[in-house]
Each structure stands twice: as structure tokens, then as C-alpha cells.
Structure 1
Amino acid sequence: MKTLMRLCRLPALLLTGLCLMGTAAMAEPAPSASGSPANSVAKPYGSGWDCDKGFRETDGACASIDLPKNSHLTGGAYGAGWECNYGFDRAGAGCAAVTVPANAHLDGSGTRWDCDRGFARDGQRCLAIKVPANGYLTNSNYGDGWACERGFRPERGLCLKIVLPKNAYLTDSASGPGWACERGHAPKANACAKIVLPKFAHLNSSGDGWQCDRPYRQAGGACVAP
């Protein structure tokens, strides 16, 4: 390089072309000894190179990634090379803050929101859930957001007391009357009727009916010999 500068001090008419070539060579970034471009590193195995973090391969060179406000580098080889910070979402070529309404919070992704417990989503707002007497809040995002206490059943937005007939017990089913008959009894209207066993019969496994002893077979309401 010193030799080139000394040559450039000679008469301009003699070495004009040489000086211009040398100046152009000084202005261009020289590749590394391995042949990889600036801001890159050789692959640990085989040949080739990868751009440093914060740079992306473009036409054989490593160009700096334009990082918008409220974002961070991903280090991935695909995509834009960046993603929005928690609480921000992609908006065009930038990141916009996620608008969280009152009585709501950001979800795990940081790009959406959920209503707080005790509130239900209504468009872009969260409204308080009205829990009736003898009811309680649930953690479900579906339905009314509340359920009735044991011994009560939902009807028209209320929790009505279940009238338990004799020989019956409460169930946890959300459908039906909210009760079932004890073993040996069967539902009849709003009561539990005792099951009358014919001769040579016994209660079935569920206890709400009967079947014939072996080898007898059912014939109407009786058990007859085969």
C-alpha cells in the first residue's frame, strides 16, 4: 500500500489509471481470508458461511437487519429476523402496542388479551358477569361464566333449588332433573318407584331394572323356564 501511495505522487499523466484503480480497491471492503463476506462466520462443518446475528444474507453479502422500535432479533435464518416485544404486535413493518381494555390482561403470547376472572368478553370490552343467588363463578371461557351450587340447577338465569324425591340422591350432571334414584328404584314422573322383582329375577348392574336368573328368560313381566 505504501508503494502504491508513492507511485501516486509521480506525474499524474503517467499513472492516472493506476491511481484510480488503487483508490477504488481501498474503498471496497475486502473479503476475509476464507472468502466469506464481512459480518459473517464460517460454518463449523463443511464449506460456506453464515451471517452474524443482526445480519441477513443479501446478494452474497451480509446486510444489517433494520430493527424497528419495540422489537428484538430472533437469530432465525428465515422470516424478518426480528419479532415484536411482549405487549406489542406486528403492524406493517413495525410493532404497535396491544390495546388492553379495562378488566383484562395480556395472555401468554403477549399479542392478545383475556378478560379477568369475573368478566366476560363482549366485543373489545370486558363486562362483569352477573352471578345469581346460589351460584358461583367458574374458570371457563365458555358459557355463562357461572354455575349453580350443589342442590340447585340453572334455569332462566337463576339457580333453582332441586326438589329431591324420596329414595333419590343429588347428581353432578348439568342436564336432567339433578337427581337419580337409589338402587332398586326407577324414576317415574317426579318420584322414585320401587322396582318389583318377578320370581326368578334379580336387579341389573345399574340397579334401575331387572333381568332373569339363568337359565330363565323374560316373557313380558315374568321369568319363564326355557
Structure 2
Amino acid sequence: MPDRSGLRLRFNRSLIVFTHCILCLIPTLLVLLSGTQLPAQVAGNAGGLVCDEGFENKNGSCQRTDLPENAYLTGSSYGSGWECNHGFQNVGEICEEIIVPKNAYLASTGDQWKCNRLFQRVGEECEELIAPENGYVETRFGAQEIHCNWGFRKENQDCVAIEVPKNGRLSDKRSSDGWVCFRGYRAAESGCEPVAVPQHAYLAPETYSGWKCERGFRANRDRCVAVLVPSNAHLNRRGDGWECNQPFTRQNDKCTENVP
């Protein structure tokens, strides 16, 4: 009987080669069917790399001819498709190196520079930010500000001492004067004057007058008058007025019953 093993082996090898060729043609067929073009293709037996229009062979790879120096491709179809390298900036479609001035540093983004602490930008340089006497520099939210020490307030670019009047003290809050009066006194043009507390009132430093009426009374200029509560009514929550009881309603200065 004839030996069929050799024939079967040659047939299997031919099938493998044919299958491999088919698999190699599939990507090319997909590209042709989609209507797109490959940026580069191998030129067969001629050797070398042939790039499409707008690309050129650089060190064995196809790169864009309009890509400026010190730039890289972003792979995005939007915009120019390239960006400048770290430490360079786009100036007229050219990537120029960022010159960092004295007392400055290159930002982490690589596309700008910033001044060091205690320096501020003036044009293209960094000038020292000098705090006035009795003041200091504070950085808040990325901005440097000059503040004055305790007991001083800012006037223009200087820190001047706060003159606290008699019966007053330095304020913990940043006020225009920098001081507040003691309890029992209120601010006036001459300084801190004693608060005259009327009858049925008590000292209350949180009010402008410095005093507050007791419950059941209400302020009327410089005195406290009693709240007249009509029948079927009661004092309100603050104690300086009245409200009708349920089911009565207010009509002028009286409380009348609702009649169905």
C-alpha cells in the first residue's frame, strides 16, 4: 500500500500557511472596508518604512511632519493633536522653553512658573514681599496677605498701634476701631460712656443701646413701657408683645372669638 503519511503532512502544512495568510489579510480588509487609511505600511520586498502623507520616517517610526520640537502627540482628534513637553509653552505653534526667574520655581503642571514664599510677581520677575513693622505675611488660599500683630491695625501699608480708650479693651474681632467697650459702657465720640439703664431693664452688651427690657416690657426710646395684654391673650415668645389664645383672633387691640 502507498505511504499516505507524507502526503497528509504536506497537506497540513499547506493548510497552516493558508490560514496564516488569511489571518494577516483580515486587518487590511477591515481598514479598507471602514474607509480609513493606515498611517504607515511596510513596503513588502522593497524594504524600509513608507509613511502616508503628513508623516515621515524618523528612526524607524512614522511621525507627523508638522509636530514642533519639544512636543508630543496627544492621540486626540481634537485641537492640534499635540502638546508641549514639561517645561515648555506653546507660543505661535512653537514650543518655547519656560524661563524661570530668580526666586521662583516651575509649577507642577510644567506650563508656568510661580514665585517663592515671601515673594510676589511683578511683571516677569519676583519681588520680595516685605512685611511692615509690627506685621507679618500670611498665605491664605494661595494668596499672600499682610496682617498686623495683636494691638495694631493696618493703615495703608503700615501697622499702627490701636489707641484703646478708658473703659475699653482690644477686640478679638477685626473691627474698624480694633477695640470695644466694657460691659456697662457703649462707644461714643468721646470714648466709652456709661450706659444709663432705665427702670425694668438690664445690661445687655449684645444690643446697640447696651440694655434690654425685662419680659412684659418693650423699649420706647430711652425707657421700658409695660405691654398691655388684653383679655383672652398672652405674652409672645420674646415677651415684648402679645398673642391671642386659641380659638380667638386679633382685631385691632382685642381678641375676638371665631363664630362658625
TM-score > 0.5 by shorter chain:
yes
Aligned residue identity for 1:154:
A
Change (3 A) 1:167 1:54: same
Structure 1 CA distance for aligned equivalents of residues 218 and 144 of structure 2: 54
**1:149 maps to what in 2?**
182
The separation in 2 between residues aligned to 1:219 and 1:62, in whole angstroms, is 81
- Counterparts in 2 of 1:1-226, with a 5 A limit? 33=61, 39-43=70-74, 46=76, 48-58=81-91, 62-76=95-109, 81-108=112-139, 109=142, 111-175=144-208, 177-188=209-220, 190-211=222-243, 213=245, 215=248
Report Cα offsets for 1:136-166 as digits up to 9, x if no partner: 2224444211112222211115222323334
Select between 49-58 and 66-75 the one with higher mean Cα deviation: 49-58
Instruction: Encode CA deviations 1:94-148: one digit per residue, 9 max, x unaligned.
Output: 1111132111111314544122222112222111111123322224444211112
8 Å CA contact 1:39, 1:52 repeated in 2: yes
2:213 partner amino acid: C
Query: What count of residue pairs does the alignment treat as equivalent?
Result: 192
The answer on whether the counterparts of 1:153 and 1:174 sit within 8 Å (CA) in structure 2 is no
Name the TM-score, length of structure 1 as normaliser: 0.66
Report the AA paired with residue 165 of structure 2: P
1:3 match: none
Preserved CA contact (<8 Å) 1:120 1:129: yes
Asked which structure has the greater CA Rg, the reply is 2
Q: Is the 8 A contact 1:119 1:129 kept in 2?
A: yes
Flag the 1:49–1:178 CA change in 2: closer, same or farther, 3 A. Answer: same
Distance in 1 (alpha carbons) for counterparts of 2:217 and 2:147: 47
| AA matched with 1:89 | Q
Residue 20 of structure 2 aligns with which residue?
Answer: none
* Identity of matched residues, %: 35
List runs of 5+ in structure 1 lacking aligned partners.
1-29
Whether the 8 Å CA contact 2:88–2:110 is kept in 1: the answer is: no
- Give deviations 1:12-36, integer Å, cap 9, x for gaps: xxxxxxxxxxxxxxxxxx9675556
Amino acid at match of 1:181: C
1:174/1:53 CA distance change after superposition, 3 Å: farther
Higher relative contact order (CA 8 A, sep 6+): 1
RMSD of aligned C-alpha atoms?
3.4
Q: For the Cα contact (< 8 Å) 2:71–2:84, is it kept in 1? A: yes
Unaligned ranges ≥5, structure 2: 1-56
CA distance in 1, matches of 2:202, 2:215: 10
Q: Distance in 1 between the 2:122 and 2:220 partners?
A: 63
